[in-house]
Amino acid sequence: MSGFDFSNELRNNYLGHKGLQLPRATSTGTTIVGCLFSDGIVLGADTRATEGPIVADKNCEKIHYITDNIRCCGAGTAADTEYTTALISSNMELHALSTGRKPRVVTAMTMLKQMLFRYQGHIGAALVLGGVDATGPHLFTIHPHGSTDKLPYVTMGSGSLAAMAVFESGWRPNMQRDDALALVKAAISAGIFNDLGSGSNVDACIITADHTETLRNVEMPNVRVQKERTYTFRKGTTAWTKESVRNLVVSEQVNPVGPADAMDTT
């Protein structure tokens, strides 16, 4: 049976009662946003992936494909967001083939929230789902326990408060495409510069009724500058007492056993 397996929970509880210190959950960080404009949806995300205090990836993708007209931004555990959205994307394609109709955003939202609620928050996926279908543009947030919101502008992740401050002061109904994109870039930048869990570059995705445009690294505010000095040292600067060279390539002689006839390919 497919899905997640929690059969080790009893074992982990037993070991915990015996005094074994179990590993703690790793803190996660992200800034993901979305907002409505006159013709559709603009989604945005930063590109930093962290492992606690370590930056594991400076340029990861957090805007995931669901269908041609639906995208989903993920915050939380990277593996959970990636595989959860991939699973729902597959189910949405099967749903479209079964019904013969273009899938709706509310269908993807229902599938996602039912799956997350089924696992009671153990799947660490906080999602911003946006898309345009036959009924118009729709924007949802989906929390790890399965609760949802439908709002004209949303933020999620550890940098969500900084991003929401930008939306609260700058968003207005029926914005034009360029204005909405600039607002999303400003909101993500606020998360990047005010939250240690967010950083690197800005990704965006613009979804309208007839086109979806993905803007990878639309802004790169943290380009590494050239160092003022170089730290190269000439050979022989540091003394050593002895030198040993090992050959790590293993040579092997193969002795054929049996007749060495050519393989019959007829």
DSSP letters spanning 168-194: HHH--TT--HHHHHHHHHHHHHHHHHH
- Sequence letter at residue 125: A
Is the distance from CB of 72 to CB of 66 less than 8 angstroms? yes
Q: Which of 28, 30, 77, 155 is catalytic?
A: 30
Q: How many Cβ atoms are within 10 Å of 50's Cβ, its own excluded?
A: 21
pLDDT given for residue 10 in this prediction: 84
> Is 214 annotated as catalytic?
no
Torsion of the alpha carbons at 104, 163, 60 and 79, rounded to the nearest 10: -60
Report the distance separating Cα 181 and Cα 43, nearest Å. 8
Task: Decide: pTM greater than 0.85.
Answer: no
Residues (pLDDT < 70) of the chain are 1-4, 25-26, 257-266
Say what angle helices 160-170 and 177-194 make with each other, to 10 degrees: 150
* Residue closest to 207 by CA, chosen among 65, 102, 98: 65
CA distances from 62 to 16, 52, 173, 247 (A): 34, 18, 26, 44
Question: Residue 21, Cα to own-chain centre: how many angstroms?
Answer: 30
